[in-house]
Amino acid sequence: MSAEQTHFVTCPLCEATCGLEVRTRDREVVSIRGDRDDVFSRGYLCPKAAALKDLDRDPDRLRTPLVRRDGRWDEVTWDEAFAEVDRRMRPILGEHGRDAVACYLGNPSAHNLGLLIYGRVLLRALGSRNVYSASTVDQMPKQVSAGLMFGTGLSVPVPDLDRTSHLLVLGADPLVSNGSLMTAPDVRGRLRAIRERGGRVVVIDPRRSRTAEHASEHHFIRPGTDAHLLFAMVHVLFRDGLVRLDRLADLVSGLDEVAELAKAFSPETVAPICGIDGETIARLARDLAAAPSAAVYGRIGTCTQAFGTLASWLVDVLNTLTGNLDRAGGAMFTRAAAGAANTRGTGGRGRGIRLGRHRSRVRELPEVFGELPVVCLPEEIETPGPGRIRGLVTIAGNPVLSTPNGDRLAAALASLDCMVSLDIYLNETTRHAHVILPGLSPLETSHYDLALWQLAVRNVANYSAPVFPPPPGHHADWESVLRLTGIVLGQGPDADLEALDDLVATQQAQGAHATHTVEEVLAALAPRRGPERLLDLMLRTGPYGDHFGTTPGGLSLATLEANPHGVDLGALVPRLPEVLRTPSGHLELAPTAIVADVTRLRESLDEVPESMVLIGRRQLRSNNSWMHNVEPLVRGRERCTLLIHPADAARLGLENGDAASVRSRTGTIELPVEITDAIMPGVVSVPHGWGHDVAGTRLQVASRHAGVCSNRVADEDRFDPLSGNAVLNGLPVQVDAVAGAGVSSAGRG
């Protein structure tokens, strides 16, 4: 037995990017703790970090490629797997064209350096319009509003948590989710610090969430009405003369238009819609304006709803109108060390974003950032005609559980001529694949959070080498993606990966640097290959980079390798106007597309509210649909429950633990109720990602803690028109007691 070794790595499981200290002996994990010296997380971690060990040794985690033949799964070699992919994929591309093969990219691909870099390479080589991702069941509204206002899709202002004196949170529960579009380890500690320095945390949520419990103030809001509330706050700012743009005055376009639009949304008008009284709404606006510094922050609850883009836009309108955009303690732009579109070129002006460059075939929904709304995926597979999807590659995604009307999608997947899944489990989605290409254990993968450090509350950079060497011959995800690239390029199943990788590196090095030739750049990056070579390129040509010697002392991957606890690049700094990439060079406060959608919001003022609506919730010991096969995380009492208010429970004759049914146009689920006044009357909540009672999977633990899939009742016909994002919160549903199913059903039928 050899000596113990200590590794410092960044946890890849969620957006908080905690630094971990992983002790190992041989191929065994001895312990996982928070890395106290991590420059960002300072020792913080959540219960999921320890589950990395269980995930690593989970016997169900796939370790060999699988090919499905006559309803049976055969373990095959990598060469056999890619030969099978080529055999199935080639005729589709040849006979039906590029659009006949689709891709779906799931959430973990945003936490995976190799997939972030090489995923794009595959998509470009494939050239299909049928690109889908978890983004349109998540943050697409925020990307659309940020893109239109500031010029790139990831120019999302993040709350300057460590300096703000007032934080207004809508539709987020960072004490449970550990934060999103706001990369910040230990949100709990950071929010506590706001209150300890005399500031306030105000939470708007239809449920008294963990975050709400720890806040200074919480208000219930009727789901899906955040845009109404935020517009009314804008209304108050204009009405009471509280708008102050300060140094942004010359940069902002569209101020008068916003003032005009807000007129229809007085606090008194929206109060009955939001379920918050007019005086409270006015006070929320005045408090925000009066705070020495303040940030408005909205997340899943404000995105995955009918007015997702409008709500996301209004969050930053409020940040701007109160003088809090781009100043310390307000909502600021991260200046990431690598990969950010808003650090490329000179800045201050750019091409902006264009939406709807093409449309989906069946419903003609517009493209957003090169992808189509995932609510279109089932119909694009089912509907005959030219351009029909016949082949699908899923990359680290489980859309059967994560996207609306998963049952319809599952049936559609079963009809594909070729489905290839890059995944570490045989689950509800990948069971429909013909070939599964398993990625590595997270402990066998290097990590640099290319996407999420673009949204961090401090500027940080941190690289982790793999804890364990990958098993010999096992492909990392990026290598599988590169081999698929070879296949869609027509080079067959065994294209020269080295040559392909060199080609990718050469392309990325072109124009990457002003004073160095491509050959010089490539020579400087040698002998690195794969994701490390491209990460080094991004770091060295990034805003803190060494520019291959031109900026001595600047960052490179070598710097990060020498600093295993990360490199702190400081608190966020003001970046306007340099951060902008809009064609006008202005901050577009009233983008045309968004203004046009305000009509829909105005019309909703006359609608009669639904009597019962469904929302979701996240759970600390869970990660969307895929950490449920880890025993320590699912142990204990049933967690897939329906939260319901006592008044609603009484009306429906439900008692704690009784079974209730939740029905919508698309389906019905049955689950036990948990009666609580933490949820607003007229609202019920079901967590997503459950529903593991599906035959043909290899999830021994998860199938014993199956729960039900809330997306059975999510309707693919409900989406935010600007972003194509699915509506997953505020869904109208019918709730009933399930006759005879409860334990305490005395006196009821």
Residue 732 CB: number of other CB atoms within 10 A? 16
**Which part of the chain contacts Mo ion (CB under 5 A), choosing from 137-145, 277-285, 538-546, 658-666?**
137-145
Q: How far is the CB of 405 from ligand MGD (least distance, A)?
A: 11
Should residue 449 be labelled a site residue for Mo ion when binding is judged by CB under 5 A?
Answer: no
Residue 11 contact, options ligand MGD, Mo ion, ligand SF4, none, Cβ 5-8 Å cut-off depending on partner type: ligand SF4
Q: Are 554 and 545 in contact (CB under 8 A)?
A: yes
For 346-504, list the strands marked E by DSSP.
391-395, 418-422, 435-437, 458-461
**Which part of the chain contacts ligand SF4 (CB under 6 A), choosing from 44-52, 91-99, 369-377, 378-386?**
44-52
Phi, psi of 486 (to 5 degrees): -60, -40
Site for ligand MGD in 435-464 (CB under 6 A): 439
**Which part of the chain contacts ligand SF4 (CB under 6 A), choosing from 40-48, 311-319, 410-418, 571-579?**
40-48
Residue 18 contact, options ligand MGD, Mo ion, ligand SF4, none, Cβ 5-8 Å cut-off depending on partner type: ligand SF4
Should residue 598 be labelled a site residue for ligand SF4 when binding is judged by CB under 6 A?
Answer: no
Site for ligand SF4 in 178-237 (CB under 6 A): 178, 185
Q: What is the CA radius of gyration of the chain?
A: 25
Q: How far is the CB of 402 from Mo ion (least distance, A)?
A: 9
As a whole number of angstroms, the distance between CA 376 and CA 257 comes to: 34
Among 21, 58, 84, 205, binds ligand MGD (CB under 6 A): 205
The residue type of 346 is T
Residue 566 contact, options Mo ion, ligand SF4, ligand MGD, none, Cβ 5-8 Å cut-off depending on partner type: none
End-to-end CA distance of the chain: 65
Q: Which two tokens stand for residue 425?
A: 């489990």
Q: Which two tokens stand for residue 420?
A: 């290839």
Which one, 181 or 476, has the nearer CB to Mo ion? 181
Should residue 112 be labelled a site residue for ligand MGD when binding is judged by CB under 6 A?
Answer: yes
Nearest to 481 by CA among 70, 125, 13, 64: 125
Binding mask 224-263 for ligand MGD (x = CB under 6 A): x-x-------------------------------------
DSSP class of residue 555 equals B
DSSP class of residue 366 equals B
For residue 658, what are the CA distances in angstroms to 107, 146, 516, 636?
Answer: 34, 44, 69, 18
Among 108, 323, 531, 554, binds ligand MGD (CB under 6 A): 108
Q: How far is the CB of 708 from ligand MGD (least distance, A)?
A: 11
Should residue 616 be labelled a site residue for ligand MGD when binding is judged by CB under 6 A?
Answer: yes
Q: Which two tokens stand for residue 493?
A: 């199943």
Q: How far is the CB of 469 from ligand SF4 (least distance, A)?
A: 22
Q: Are 232 and 266 in contact (CB under 8 A)?
A: yes
Site for ligand MGD in 35-64 (CB under 6 A): none
For residue 331, what are the CA distances in angstroms to 30, 232, 262, 283?
Answer: 41, 20, 22, 21
Among 150, 307, 333, 425, binds ligand MGD (CB under 6 A): 425
Nearest to 51 by CA among 634, 617, 452, 702: 634
Should residue 138 be labelled a site residue for Mo ion when binding is judged by CB under 5 A?
Answer: yes
Residue 13 contact, options Mo ion, ligand SF4, ligand MGD, none, Cβ 5-8 Å cut-off depending on partner type: ligand SF4
- Total interface residues for ligand SF4 by CB under 6 A: 12
Site for ligand MGD in 516-575 (CB under 6 A): none
As a whole number of angstroms, the distance between CA 11 and CA 19 comes to: 6
- Residue 76 CB contacts under 8 Å (≥ 6 apart), including other chains: 64, 65, 66, 67, 84
Print burial letters for 263-279: b (CB count within 10 Å at least 16), e (below 16). Answer: eebbbebbbebbbbebe
As a whole number of angstroms, the distance between CA 109 and CA 549 comes to: 32
Count of residues for the chain?
749
Q: Which residues bind ligand SF4 (CB under 6 A)?
A: 11, 13-14, 16-18, 45-46, 48-49, 178, 185
Question: Which residues make up the interface to ligand MGD (CB under 6 A)?
Answer: 14, 106-108, 112, 134, 137-138, 170-174, 176-178, 180, 204-207, 209, 221, 223-224, 226, 299-302, 304-305, 396-399, 402, 422-425, 427, 439, 477, 615-620, 622-626, 688-689, 710-711, 714, 728-730
